[in-house]
Structure formats: structure tokens, C-alpha cells
Amino acid sequence: MALAPIPLTTLVKLGAGLKRPEGVSGGRDGRVWASDQTSACAEVRPDGTLRRVGKAEGAPNGITMDAAGRILIAGWGLDSGDPGPLQRLDPETGHVEVVCAEIAGRRLLASNYPVVDRHGNIWCSHSTWDVAAAWAGVADGFVYRIAPDGAARIMAEGFHFANGLALDAEESYLYVCQSVARNVVRCPIRGDDTLGAAEAVVVRTDPLGLSGYDLLAPWEQAVAVWQALAAPGTANALPAGLEALETARIENGVGRYGREYGEAVNPLEGGLRRLISFTKGCYTGQEVVARLNTYDKVQRKLVGVVLENKLRIAAGKRPRLLVDGQEVGYLTSWARPPRRQRWLALGYLRRAHAKVRAQVQVEADGVSFPARVASLPFRR
């Protein structure tokens, strides 16, 4: 069934006053619960008021409801030095019991998100033992499972800050969000009730303005994935270096953060209008974007520039664009495709001069040479 977008303007704020509401879960009786550091969980009543229940160890993080209507709470303790066990709350009595406090002889510190399968097994992510190390690249996150008889064991390891979990409808796969790796991987649940290695996920992104895909795989599988793609007679993929990718990006007029995009660039200037909604509710920067659009006040735009010069421009510079000796813009990226005689560049120009075939001067490395404005992507 196709899902329709929910306009943010139709949303109503409920449950004001919650402390660190990291998780939310709904019961079969229609009641809605949120994790709450002041208690254990809080029922969010239809009128928006709260009914706080219980008191959990650590900071309640992700929550889910089991078949008996009890709330499983992943405890987070790394920020406070408290333990981070998996706990279970009876929402009627407020009683909180510890389901799992340690695993493999080590006290849990960063339980993050639980899910329950149809057999009553509780799966829970444990993000890391050390937040700073995790963000530095240490893959020490893992997923553990509590069987109905209370036996606990680690099912999979090596995740880059394991976060949210989800089971597919057939419970054939467990999906794991990796916050540091910024992706979602899935692990097959085998017939012998063990968890297989995380699989690669393919996402259509067209990153260079051409048909393209991102392969999201565990870091330890990167070499194997690369070798499989490059092996003769398989995918017939040809490796490309960073310089080739950069050249293709510029030829196709695709901006890059740190070059064409950054905190000082408005998305309307950078040709990102297609990514902006002018109808949904509030978001950071909406007022500025809406004002520029409504009153047509965008003062510069991202353009292509063909350089009439065969000399290489030193990296790390920001060549100026001049008209009649006055600065009217600057270049952000440049490359010389092998099949072309001239350098191609991306840059920002004031609107009055951002016309195709307009002539400008480029000032770089102490010399000045002519250039002309071109449409994007560059004509082939």
C-alpha cells in the first residue's frame, strides 16, 4: 500500500515536559507511551498530559511493547556513568525489573533499542563501550538477544554505533542502524536461529548526475566487495580514482559540500530548488529561503565556467571572477577532462553576470585570463 506524506502543519504537539523522550511505543489498547528519564515511561494521554510510571536505571532510551503489554526499556548509562541494562516495565503497577544487566561477563552500559519477535525473543542493540572511540571509528557495537527462558547471548558484533533495530514481516532479517557509518545494514536470521553477517545494501543515488548507486557494506567487507565488483566476468566494473570522480562531478554540474555547498551558501543559490519544499511546516532556515524566493532576492548563482587557459590552477586557491576589474564571483572547483582542450569549472557569479556565454576574467596565481559562462551540465 502506497503511503501518503503527512503534512507537518497537521501535526499537534503532545506530551510536553518529557525528559529525553528517545523512544515511543503504542499498545494494542491504543495507549501511547514514551521513554522518560524522570521516571521510566510516561503515558501520553489524548489531551497531551502525562502519566509518569516507574523508575528505571540509567536513561531510558528505545522502548517497545511485548505481547503481554509490558514495556521493554533499553537503558543508556554512558553519559552519566550509570549502568545501561535492558529492563521491563509493568505499566499498570509501575514495577520495573531488570531483564539483562550484563553479557559475556561484562556490565551493559549502552543498550539502545529493543524489538521482540513472534517467538518472544528480545533483540536489543548495544551501541558502544566508549562514545568517543565509536565516533573515531571503533566498531564495537553489537546486538544481543534474550530468549524466553532468560538466556542472553551476543548475536552479532562489529557495528559502528548500533542504534535502531527492525525485523522484516517474515522475520527473516534483522535491520540495524549504524549511526557512525550513517547507514542501515541487514543480517539474515538463519534457520538454526543464529544471525548471519551483515549484508551490503544498494541505494540508487545518482551521485555524479549520472545513473549511479551507493553500496553500503560493513567496513570489514569492503575489500571483498571491491574485489567482487572488479573481478573479470562478473560486474565488469572499472575502478575509478578520486580525480576521475571529481572530473565527472564537475562536468555534470554537481556541487559538493565543502566546495560549492556549506553554511554560507543558500540552497537557492546552489541550484538546489528541487530539494526544497515551500509548503511543509517549519524547518531550520525556512524563513530565509522563503523570503529570498518570494521577493526574488537571490543575488548569486552556481554556474559553469569554461577557462580559456591550459595551465593548471593551484589547489587550495579560490580564483576570483572579474568584470571590468570588479570582483563579481569566484571559482569553487575545476578540472580538465581528458577529452577536452580546456579546463571546466564551477563557481558563483552575481546574477547580473550569470548569463550563458557572458565573458569574465579569472584571476588566479597572480595571472589573469579570459573565461566564459556555460550552462550546466556542460554541453558534450
Edge-to-edge, what's the strand order for the sheet holding 71-76?
59-65, 71-76, 86-89, 96-100
Report CA dihedral (274, 280, 284, 285) to the nearest 10 degrees: 60
Topology alike, domains 8-199 and 245-374: no
Measured distance CA(358)–CA(197) in Å, rounded? 56
Q: Where are the alpha helices (DSSP H) in the chain?
A: 131-135, 222-230, 242-251, 286-294
Which three cell numbers mark 176? 540495524
Edge-to-edge, what's the strand order for the sheet holding 122-126?
111-116, 122-126, 141-146, 152-159
Give the pLDDT of residue 12.
Answer: 85
Give the pLDDT of residue 62.
Answer: 97
| Each residue's pLDDT expressed in tens, for the chain with a length of 380 residues | 567 888 888 888 888 999 999 999 999 899 999 999 999 999 999 999 999 999 998 899 999 999 999 999 999 998 788 899 999 999 999 999 999 999 999 999 999 999 999 999 999 999 999 998 998 889 999 999 999 999 999 999 999 999 999 999 999 999 999 998 888 889 999 988 788 888 877 777 777 777 777 777 777 778 888 888 887 776 677 888 888 889 999 999 999 888 999 888 888 898 888 878 777 666 677 788 888 888 888 899 999 999 987 777 877 778 999 999 999 999 999 998 888 888 999 999 999 999 999 999 999 888 899 999 999 998 65
Amino acid found at 43: E
- Indicate if the alpha-carbon torsion angle 13, 14, 17, 22 is positive or negative: negative
Which three cell numbers mark 19? 525528559
Can you identify the CATH homologous superfamily of domain 8-199?
TolB, C-terminal domain (2.120.10.30)
What does pTM read for this prediction? 0.61
Give the pLDDT of residue 1.
Answer: 56
Domain boundaries of the chain, sorted by first residue: 8-199, 203-239, 245-374
- What is the third-level CATH fold of 245-374? Gyrase A; domain 2 (3.30.1360)
